[in-house]
């Protein structure tokens, strides 16, 4: 097998490592050559049948010694290709990461970049990969999008807003499919509570805004860049590899406060998209850069939320601030110049309520799954 065939095989293996499945293309192969060296590509083949392995398992699947494995893992982890952290029993586990969502792309742009020719080339290749993926989805829209609309939620919105006394609560009906999950552990609904859960917190650059900076299209919403949090073993991994830095709870809360004032949306991520497990990370997303936002989505947005915005028309003055700040275009002004919201688009982030000068918007509790398809072009 020649080297190009080996990279193609590595691409096929990485494409099934989780995240977003990818067709193996010339663009993908060029990207892999930036993150996996020629003397490492055979090692990726060891993960063909099992993406997470202990040292003993990896010695058997790779045929390498422990010393050789540790050397390769150290290099690949530093490029965001392999995640190496102990499990709950203290046993070191080596997990092959997907190219993105969440994997190599996120870790690459979470760290500091110098805008070298190499970094610019990597950014351009990712840009081409996303163009290719978008074309693939659009060309097969009637097959791919309906299928993806049924997948589990990728992230969970954490509200920034608490109801104020003058708002009247509105009852909503919880989706019957979610009623069966009512006895499971309910994750923190307010981002401040979430921060207090963790002793290990790391802060890195927003990879979406950092990536757009590299393309020469900086964020229109905020100058904030260090807004990406990881927790627990994810915090240890990202800080050990230089993708982030460990911070205190006080600094984390300060960053979150600035994010809220910029109108960013808190999105939490859980292992294997299972919201009954502790969060691994929080993104603070803008509308103009976020890859999992309405303006940039390639595949459907699939989001779990515990809140729904509700407008008190008696208090609303029709200023339109909620419309201006809404990330999913759920907010709009009705014919009577009062604010309205489209329930099927509302992800319950609370940004509209945060900016409402009249306190006319309340956040009503009730778990929902929101799925928003990309536009068919």
pLDDT tens string 52-70: 999 999 999 999 999 999 9
What pLDDT was estimated at residue 161? 53
Higher pLDDT among residues 160 and 208, named by residue: 208
What's the half-sphere exposure (Cβ side, CA atoms, 13 Å) at 57?
A: 14
SS3 content of the chain, % helix, strand, coil (to 5): 40, 20, 40
**Nearest C-alpha neighbor of 349 from the set 124, 189, 203:** 189
Give 191 or 313, the one with higher predicted confidence.
313
Retrieve residue 181's tokens.
């999950």
On average, the pLDDT of the chain sits at 89
Average pLDDT of span 353-362: 93
Domains in the chain: boundaries: 3-139, 152-372
Look at residue 293 in the predicted model and tell me its pLDDT: 86
For residues 87-97, give the mean pLDDT.
94
The predicted model scores a pTM of 0.89
Q: For residue 78, is pLDDT > 90?
A: yes
The pLDDT of residue 80 is: 97
Output the pLDDT for position 129. 95
pLDDT of residue 189: 60
Per-residue pLDDT at 298: 93
Higher pLDDT: 21 or 168? It is 21
CATH 1.10.287.130 fits 3-139, yes or no: no
Q: Is the pLDDT of residue 180 over 70?
A: no
Percentage of the chain surpassing pLDDT 90?
Answer: 76
Distances, alpha carbon 106 to alpha carbons 6, 8, 99, 354, in Å: 24, 22, 8, 28
126-146 average pLDDT score: 95
33 token code pair: 């050559």
Say what the pLDDT of residue 188 is: 52
User: Average pLDDT, stretch 322-340?
Assistant: 96
The answer to whether residue 166 scores a pLDDT higher than 60 is no
The pLDDT assigned to 241 comes to 97
Q: Please report which confidence band the pLDDT of residue 118 belongs to, taking 50, 70 and 90 as the band edges.
A: very high
Pairing of strands 361-372, 331-333: unpaired
Mean pLDDT value across residues 155-180: 49
Q: Measured in whole angstroms, how far is the alpha carbon of residue 49 from the centre of its chain?
A: 26
Mean pLDDT lowest among 162-166, 169-173, 283-287, 314-318? 169-173
Per-residue pLDDT averaged across 176-189, rounded? Answer: 38
pLDDT, tens digit, 9 for 90 and up, residues 232-249: 999 999 999 999 999 999
The rounded percent of the chain whose pLDDT value lies above 70 is 92
pLDDT at 273: 78
Q: C-alpha 70: how far from its chain's center?
A: 29
| Residue of 361, 365, 371 whose CA lies nearest to 306 | 365
Give me the pLDDT at residue 177, please: 35
Q: What's the sign of the alpha-carbon dihedral 138, 139, 142, 148?
A: negative
């Amino acid at each position: 097998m020649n080297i190009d065939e080996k990279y193609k095989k590595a691409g096929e293996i990485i494409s099934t490592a989780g995240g977003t499945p990818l067709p193996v293309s010339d663009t993908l192969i060029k990207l892999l050559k930036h993150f996996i060296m020629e003397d490492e590509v055979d090692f990726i083949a060891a993960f063909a049948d099992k993406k997470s392995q202990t040292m003993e398992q990896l010695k058997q699947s790779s045929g390498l010694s422990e010393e050789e494995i540790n050397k390769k893992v150290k290099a690949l982890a530093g490029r965001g290709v392999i995640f190496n952290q102990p499990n709950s029993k203290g046993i070191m586990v080596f997990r092959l990461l997907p190219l993105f969502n969440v994997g190599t792309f996120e870790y690459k742009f979470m760290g500091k970049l110098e805008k070298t020719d190499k970094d610019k080339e990597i950014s351009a290749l990712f840009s081409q990969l996303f163009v290719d993926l978008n074309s693939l989805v659009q060309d097969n829209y009637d097959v791919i999008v309906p299928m993806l609309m049924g997948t589990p939620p990728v992230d969970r919105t954490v509200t920034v807003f608490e109801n104020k006394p003058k708002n009247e609560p509105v009852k909503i009906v919880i989706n019957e499919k979610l009623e069966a999950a009512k006895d499971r552990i309910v994750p923190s609904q307010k981002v401040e509570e979430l921060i207090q859960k963790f002793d290990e917190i790391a802060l890195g650059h927003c990879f979406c805004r950092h990536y757009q900076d590299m393309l020469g299209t900086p964020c229109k919403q905020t100058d904030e860049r260090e807004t990406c949090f990881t927790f627990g073993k994810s915090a240890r991994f990202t800080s050990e590899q230089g993708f982030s830095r460990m911070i205190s709870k006080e600094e984390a809360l300060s960053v979150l406060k600035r994010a809220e004032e910029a109108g960013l949306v808190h999105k939490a991520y859980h292992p294997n998209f299972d919201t009954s497990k502790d969060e691994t990370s929080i993104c603070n997303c803008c509308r103009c850069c976020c890859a999992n936002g309405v303006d940039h989505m390639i595949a459907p947005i699939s989001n779990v939320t515990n809140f729904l915005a509700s407008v008190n028309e008696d208090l609303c003055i029709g200023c339109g601030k909620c419309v201006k700040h809404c990330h999913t275009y759920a907010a709009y002004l009705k014919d009577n110049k009062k604010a309205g919201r489209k329930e099927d688009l509302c992800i319950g982030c609370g940004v509209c309520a945060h900016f409402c000068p009249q306190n006319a918007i309340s956040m009503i509790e009730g778990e929902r799954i929101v799925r928003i398809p990309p536009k068919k072009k």
